[in-house]
């Protein structure tokens, strides 16, 4: 058992803090008494709003060169990735598979007692004919071979809570116009929609478990999130 599980205080490394998912996860960490320290892994400064530190790594594919900077974390919340819409397969694979594994392997070596939590997606399957689902599935499979505890979170639609949103121009109108419907859908069908804040709340709860589940679907993300002190917005 790690010191964090014994004391309830987590030291978290967050990747993708500026993205739609990462913003909500960062918010959950900043609000949670279970998180003692939050550090954002970033390529350039200024990606983390509010409280927290930043670890600057210009090229994530070469992160092993800064491996000493990854020491003494209890959990890595990996929320970075390429949008499945409008991204060519080669680029999607580089960002989703190659970059994720480079960070995960370096982090796991530095923190063998830690927990690596990866935001994947509903339907991820290495055998899928749908490119983004196939690459996500391949990434999940590779991460599960790491010598640390790993958790794959598979949200369906992700609703941004107030104060957060997407940076991608093509997706902004979708989230802006569809936000009320996504909130309603999340209440009616929790197997289909969650919020970025709920994802963070669930990750915090899972990171503190000695034996977390290997895969967590959208329904269970929402269920676990409602069991923490902060309500889902």
Neighbours of 118 (CB within 10 A): 25
Show the CA angle centred on residue 108, arms to residues 218 and 23, nearest 5°: 45
- Return the pLDDT at 188: 57
- Return the pLDDT at 186: 45
Cβ-contact 54, 39 below 8 angstroms: yes
- Return the pLDDT at 130: 95
- Return the pLDDT at 185: 47
Phi-psi region of 72 (alpha: psi -120 to 50; beta: other; left: phi over 0): left
What are the Cα distances from residue 69, in Å, to 52, 63, 107, 126, 138? 16, 9, 9, 32, 27
pTM of the model: 0.86
Q: For the chain, which ranges sit under pLDDT 50?
A: 169, 172, 175-177, 184-186, 229-233
Q: How far apart are CA 160 and CA 28, in angstroms?
A: 12
Show the CA angle centred on residue 170, arms to residues 176 and 122, nearest 5°: 80
- Return the pLDDT at 233: 42
- Return the pLDDT at 190: 59
Strand order in the sheet with 35-42: 53-56, 35-42, 10-15, 75-78, 115-119, 149-154, 215-217
- Return the pLDDT at 165: 61
Q: How far apart are CA 159 and CA 35, in angstroms?
A: 23
């Amino acid at each position: 058992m790690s010191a964090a599980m014994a004391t309830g205080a987590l030291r978290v490394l967050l990747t993708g803090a500026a993205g739609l998912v990462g913003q909500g996860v960062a918010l959950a960490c900043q609000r949670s008494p279970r998180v003692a320290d939050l550090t954002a892994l970033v390529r350039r400064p200024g990606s983390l709003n509010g409280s927290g530190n930043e670890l600057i790594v210009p090229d994530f594919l070469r992160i092993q060169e800064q491996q000493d900077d990854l020491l003494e974390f209890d959990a890595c919340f990996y929320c970075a990735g390429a949008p499945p819409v409008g991204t060519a397969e080669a680029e999607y694979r580089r960002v989703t598979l190659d970059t994720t594994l480079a960070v995960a392997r370096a982090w796991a070596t530095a923190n063998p007692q830690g927990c690596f939590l990866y935001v994947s997606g509903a339907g991820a399957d290495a055998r899928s004919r749908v490119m983004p689902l196939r690459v996500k599935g391949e990434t999940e499979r590779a991460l599960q071979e790491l010598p640390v505890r790993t958790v794959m979170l598979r949200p369906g639609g992700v609703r941004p809570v107030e104060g957060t949103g997407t940076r991608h121009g093509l997706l902004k109108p979708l989230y802006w116009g569809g936000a009320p419907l996504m909130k309603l859908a999340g209440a009616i069908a929790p197997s289909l929609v969650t919020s970025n804040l709920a994802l963070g709340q669930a990750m915090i709860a899972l990171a503190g478990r000695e034996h977390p589940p290997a895969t967590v679907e959208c329904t269970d993300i929402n269920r676990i999130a409602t069991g923490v002190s902060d309500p889902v917005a």
